[in-house]
Amino acid sequence: MITRWSQPRRVRFHASAVGILLLLTLSLSSQDDPARLTVRPDHSTVAEDSPINFFCKSDGNPLPTVHWRVNGKGVPDSRYKIISSSSGLSTLRIDSVQSGDNSTLISCSADNGIANPIHAEATLTVIAKKEVPIGFPRIDGHPSIKAVEYGRTAHVTCRVEGEPRPKVLWLRDNVPVDIRANERYSVATLTNPGALMIQLAREEDQGRYECVARNIH
């Protein structure tokens, strides 16, 4: 009788343990997650009359809301644009930087109500055109309007100069193109370096493309 009684007890105990693990997994997957910033705005130096983009990406559960401030106040005028995406990425763009924008403090914050908002700051430095130093990033060949057949490969050129050699960041409709997340996209490094190549072009690839040249001094 001892042998017959011990076997079903072991079976019941094993089934109960699996049930607890499943409930625990479901509980963890629905937990609230405080806001955090996965992309923060960078300190940036640009020449007068140039555009500039600052990026801020948040994550958390629920997805946080991103707010921008300029010198501690709300975004001031029509030169500033805010572009937000469903992925949590927010872009603050200044279409034409002026000399009076020098030393401007740009800040973003993310808040989803779970904990205190999280903040990040960057400083904008503006250089007069006549004072641009040697080696400062320069774009010699700008992207142009291009039409391509569906399913073909599109080449969007961007020739850059500077020392050290600038890295090229591509934007589509003011949002960074994530090369790593889309295997159809690549940036040339040898022939026509900096050019954006889009294989098997689709309707979703349409948009306004902009190249940004960046280096460190």
**Structure-block tokens of residue 74:** 């709300």
Q: How confident is the model at residue 217 (pLDDT cuts 50, 70, 90)?
A: low
DSSP secondary structure letter of residue 204: G
Residues 42 and 109 reside in one and the same domain: yes
The answer on 42 and 125 residing in a single domain is yes
Residue in 188, 99, 95, 194 with CA at minimum distance from that of residue 137 = 194
Residue 77 pLDDT class (50, 70, 90 cuts): confident
Mean pLDDT in residue range 130-135 = 91
- Our CA angle for 106, 107, 108, nearest 5°, is 135
**Do 185 and 117 reside in the same domain of the chain?**
no
Has residue 23 been placed in a domain? no
Please tell me whether residues 50 and 124 are part of one structural domain: yes
In a domain, 111, yes or no: yes
Residue 120: closest CA among 135, 107, 131, 129: 107
Residue with tokens 């805010």: 82
In angstroms, what is the C-alpha Rg of the chain? 25
- Is residue 157 domain-shared with residue 101, that is, in the same domain? no
Does some domain include residue 1? no
Which of 113-117, 134-138, 140-144 has the lowest average pLDDT?
140-144
pLDDT in tens, 19-72: 343 433 333 345 888 999 999 999 999 999 999 999 999 999 999 999 999 999
How many structural domains does the chain have? Answer: 2
CATH of the domain at 66: 2.60.40.10
Closest to 58 in 3D by CA, of 128, 114, 2, 19: 114
Sheet holding 118-127, edge to edge: 44-47, 118-127, 104-111, 65-70
Query: Could you tell me if residue 98 is inside a domain?
Result: yes
Domain that holds residue 153: 138-214
pLDDT of residue 30: 56
Residues 94 and 158 in one domain: no
Which of 131, 166, 183 is the last residue in one of the domains? 131
Distance of alpha carbon 18 from alpha carbon 11, whole angstroms:
11
Neighbour tally for 98: CB within 10 Å: 12
Note whether residue 11 is domain-resident. Answer: no
Given a cut of 60, whether residue 8 has pLDDT beyond it is no
Tell me: the pLDDT tens digits for 171-206? 998 889 988 888 999 998 877 778 899 999 999 999
Specify if 54 maps to a domain: yes
